[in-house]
Structure 1
């Protein structure tokens, strides 16, 4: 990414902070993580990492728009998808968490990882986010794929229809 894209990504993301200047200074000089408020510019749907990474892989198709900002928490083993704010949405599923108005999300700067947080797809400053319907379909498909790939109790190998 170019410096201009990084700069726009930083400005867009920091806008969700109570004080964007303090946020940016904290990214550069502090712990490298800022708590940003969800529900104003974006919501976040967080899922277990296996499900999230498989769904993200399904979203990287030439026929679909480029996926929106996506964050990985390697300590909590979660993937977070940034999508448009929607107070009325009802994201329901095992292990699924929806952060909206009133929730705070720990976020590193778009240009580097911090602690256990890193961007798979950093924000580019355009405001592009994951499309909720497309994300839901990818999560459903990924969940179905994982169910097929789950090992039989006691088995050491994962088998499925396309695996030996």
Structure 2
């Protein structure tokens, strides 16, 4: 496990303009560094509820997963994808971070704080296949839409209640 973490640290830090400074920042009080997108990876950031459901679907396929980062304060999930100069991802509340964008990342090990790895990098450079992420997001959207249509609202207080079919 220690070798994987070291490889992942080296892989992530290599994206920094100053890899040694990046590693020092991970050792510091906050344990985070800001890294550029567009060179080794791009990041597709989606709302947490959608991202977690899509990740569940992605973890069921036999392909090795890429890194997935959660921002617990902003309630967003970021999927690491191969760099795409076109960045044609569109959707409600979807943010595509490519060349020219920066992302805050913790060291690739369990740590407290706002940013957490749901799937840490493995150190080999494995990234998600964009088509698989797109399919998983569509599947997750369908599930969320079905759940929303099944919700009933209390006429007295307006709170959501489970629908009775």
RMSD across aligned positions (CA): 1.6
Q: Does structure 1 conserve the Cα–Cα contact (< 8 Å) formed by 2:87 and 2:98?
A: no
Q: Which of 121, 124, 130 does residue 123 from structure 1 map onto?
A: 121
Cα offsets for 1:103-146 (capped at 9, x unmatched): 00000000133531000100010100010000000001101110
Q: Does structure 2 conserve the Cα–Cα contact (< 8 Å) formed by 1:46 and 1:79?
A: yes
Of the two, which has the highest radius of gyration? Answer: 2
Write out aligned runs for 1:24-103 (5 A).
24-61=23-60, 63-103=61-101
- In structure 1, runs of 5+ residues without a counterpart are none
Q: Secondary structure at the match of 1:80?
A: strand
TM-score by length of 1: 0.91
Distance 1:64 1:115 in 2: 31
**Aligned in 2, Cα 1:107/1:114: closer, same or farther, shift over 3 Å?**
farther
**Aligned in 2, Cα 1:21/1:52: closer, same or farther, shift over 3 Å?**
same
Query: Which structure features the higher share of strand residues?
Result: 2
- In structure 2, runs of 5+ residues without a counterpart are none
TM-score by length of 2: 0.91
**Aligned in 2, Cα 1:25/1:133: closer, same or farther, shift over 3 Å?**
same
Q: What is the total number of aligned residue pairs between the two structures?
A: 159
Moved more, 102-111 or 114-123: 114-123
Q: Which of 142, 146, 149 does residue 148 from structure 1 map onto?
A: 146
Q: Secondary structure at the match of 1:124?
A: coil
User: Following TM superposition, where does structure 1 have runs of at least 4 consecutive aligned residues deviating by more than 2 angstroms?
Assistant: 112-115, 151-159
Moved more, 134-143 or 106-115: 106-115
- Could you tell me which residue of structure 1 aligns to residue 6 of structure 2? 7
